[in-house]
Amino acid sequence: MYETYSALRIEQMGRLLTVTMDRPPRNASNAATHRELSMVFRDVARDPGTDVVVLTGAGDSFCAGGDLNEMRTRLDQPELWVTAMREAREIVLSMLDLEKPVIARVNGPAIGLGCTLALLCDFIVAVETARIADPHVRIGLAAGDGGSLAWPMSIGFPRAKEFLLTGDAIAAKDAAAMGLINRAVPAAELDATAYGFADRMLNGSQAAIRSTKRAINLLMQQGLRSLVDAQLGLETLTFLGADHRAGVQAMLERREPDFRGARTAATAGSADV
Nearest to 201 by CA among 126, 125, 129, 149: 125
Query: Structural domain boundaries of the chain?
Result: 8-207
pLDDT digits (tens, 9 = 90+) for 186-208: 999 999 999 999 999 999 999 99
Pairing relationship of beta strands 110-111 and 131-133 according to DSSP bridges: parallel
Does residue 162 carry a pLDDT above 50? Answer: yes
pLDDT on residue 263? 57
pLDDT digits (tens, 9 = 90+) for 100-156: 999 999 999 999 999 999 999 999 999 999 999 999 999 999 998 888 889 999 999
Distance, CA of 141 to CA of 147 (rounded, Å): 12
Distance, CA of 180 to CA of 192 (rounded, Å): 20
Q: How confident is the model at residue 90 (pLDDT cuts 50, 70, 90)?
A: very high
Phi, psi (rounded to 5 degrees) for 91: -60, -50
Q: Left if phi > 0, otherwise alpha if psi is -120 to 50, otherwise beta: which for 73?
A: alpha
Answer whether 175's CB lies under 8 Å from 181's CB.
yes
Distance, CA of 44 to CA of 53 (rounded, Å): 8
R_g of the chain, CA atoms, integer Å: 19
DSSP H or E segment with residue 152: helix 147-155
Q: Which whole-number Å values give the CA distances from 218 to 187, 223, 224, 251, in the listed order?
A: 34, 9, 10, 38
Q: How confident is the model at residue 224 (pLDDT cuts 50, 70, 90)?
A: confident
Residue 143 has, within 13 A of its CA and on its CB side, a CA count of 29
Sheet architecture: strand order including 183-185: 8-13, 16-21, 52-57, 102-106, 123-127, 183-185
Answer whether 176's CB lies under 8 Å from 183's CB.
yes
Q: What's the pTM value of the predicted model, to 2 decimals? A: 0.93
- Domain 8-207 classification at class level: alpha beta
